[in-house]
Amino acid sequence: MNSKITSVDQILQKLVSFDVLGGQSNLSIAEWIVSHLENNGVTVHTFTNEVGDKMGIHARIGPEVDGGIILSGHTDVVPVEGQTWNSSPFELTERGNGKLYGRGSCDMKGFLACCLYLVPDMITANLQKPIYLAFSYDEEIGCQGAPPLIEHMKRTYKEKPGYAIIGEPTMMQPVIGQKGICVIRTRVNGSAGHSSRIREEVSAVHEAARLIVWIEEKVNELALLGPIDDRFHPPHTSMHVGRVNGGIAPNVIADHVQFDWDIRVIPGNSVEKLLEEFSAFCSERTKELQDRFPDFQITTTMEHPPVPPLDTSADSKFLLKVQQWSGFDDFSTVAYAAEAGQFSEAGYESIICGPGSIAQAHRANEFIEIQQLYKAIGMLRNMIADLEGSRWI
Q: Looking at residues 40-48, what average pLDDT do you find?
A: 97
For residue 391, the model assigns a pLDDT of 74
Question: Which tens digits make up the pLDDT trace of 4-14?
Answer: 344 899 999 99
The answer on pLDDT for 366 being more than 80 is yes
User: What confidence score (pLDDT) does residue 389 get?
Assistant: 83
Catalytic residue IDs:
76, 139
pLDDT over 70 percentage in the chain: 98
SS (H, E, C) the chain: CCHHHHHHHHHHHHHHHCCCECCCCCHHHHHHHHHHHHHCCCCEEEEECCCCCCEEEEEEECCCCCCCEEEEEECCECCCCCCCCCCCCCCCEECCCCEEECCCHHHHHHHHHHHHHCHHHHHHCCCCCCEEEEEECCHHHCCCCHHHHHHHHHHHCCCCCCEEEECCCCCCCCEEEECEEEEEEEEEECCCEEHHHCCCCCCHHHHHHHHHHHHHHHHHHHHHHCCCCCCCCCCCCEEEEEEEEECCCCCEECCEEEEEEEEEECCCCCHHHHHHHHHHHHHHHHHHHCCCCCCCEEEEEECCCCECCEECCCCCHHHHHHHHHHCCCCCEEECCCCCHHHHHHCCCEEEECCCCCHHHCCCCCCEEEHHHHHHHHHHHHHHHHHHCCCCCC
Tell me the per-residue pLDDT of 270-318, one tens digit each, with 9 for 90 and over: 899 999 999 999 999 999 999 899 999 999 999 888 999 999 999 999 9
pLDDT (mean) for 361-382: 97
pTM score? 0.91
The pLDDT, as a whole number, for residue 364 is 97
Q: What is the mean pLDDT of residues 235-258?
A: 96
State the pLDDT at residue 4: 39
pLDDT of residue 2: 38
Which tens digit of pLDDT belongs to each residue from 108-165? 999 999 999 999 999 999 999 999 999 999 999 999 999 999 999 999 999 999 999 9
Model pLDDT, residue 5: 42
Mean pLDDT (the chain, rounded): 95
Instruction: Compute the average pLDDT of residues 252-262.
Output: 97
Domains defined for the chain, CATH in brackets: 3-178+309-387 (3.40.630.10), 180-302 (3.30.70.360)
pLDDT digits (tens, 9 = 90+) for 50-64: 999 999 999 999 999
Please check the confidence at residue 1 and state whether its pLDDT lies above 90: no
